[in-house]
Structure 1
Amino acid sequence: MTKPISCEAHDYFEIVCMRHSKVQLTLVDHQTVLGIAKDIVRKGDRELIVVEAAQGAVEVDLTEVMILEALDNSVDAHNFEMVF
């Protein structure tokens, strides 16, 4: 089983999905995913964030995200960066 993320980190993922925020995810392997946060889904013991990217829906394991950035939201306070 994969080590779970903190409750605080999970809250930030839920917030961006609830707001359908534009996000940029930087993964532990330094790849980036840019798109609109849509949902969090569970597959087996893994939780994945679904991002609607230019190439279509991308599922990213929450434990693989090193940096979560919410970008270009109309409310400035909804733009943030979290480093995990």
Structure 2
Amino acid sequence: MEPYRPISCDLHDHLEIACLRRLRLRVELADGTQVEGRALTTVSTAAKEEFLRLECTDGLRELRLDQLHAISALDDGSGFGRIVLSE
């Protein structure tokens, strides 16, 4: 896998809000796959990589932030729709 590339603070803020509100998200990954789950928290590793932790129907998933393409809130009244994190 490529070296980790931090995402912008603005985009990180959207993820933090989703986690604080425990929103259900549809996450589009850079490879075209999609994951749906409840946003729980972001975590950092000793290697300075950051991950979004989701509670999915098949268990917990951790998605590396620089591999996220877009997120969409699935809960009504979430305050945001689809946000593109990378081009």
TM-score by length of 2: 0.87
Deviations 1:44-68 (A, max 9, x none): 2110000000110000001000011
Partner of 1:83: 84
Of Structure 1 and Structure 2, the greater helix share is in: 1
Shift in Å, 1:26:
0.3
The structure that is strand-richer by fraction is 1
2: distance between equivalents of 1:37 and 1:28? 18
Per-residue deviation, residues 59-79 of structure 1 (Å, max 9, x unmatched) = 000100001111123x2x524
Q: 2:40 aligns with which of 38, 41, 65?
A: 38
Poorly superposed stretches of 4+, deviation over 3 Å? none
Tell me the matched-pair count: 82
Alignment of 1:39-78 (within 5 A): 39-43=41-45, 44-73=47-76, 75=77, 77-78=78-79
* Structure 1: segments with no counterpart, 5+ residues: none
TM-score normalised over the length of structure 1? 0.90
Q: Aligned equivalents of 2:22 and 2:83: distance in 1?
A: 17
Q: Distance in 1 between matches of 2:22 and 2:79?
A: 11
Instruction: Tell me the equivalent position of 1:13.
Output: 15
Secondary structure of the corresponding residue to residue 32 of structure 2: coil
In structure 2, runs of 5+ residues without a counterpart are none
C-alpha RMSD over aligned residues: 1.2
1:25 touches 1:65 (CA, 8 Å); kept in 2? yes
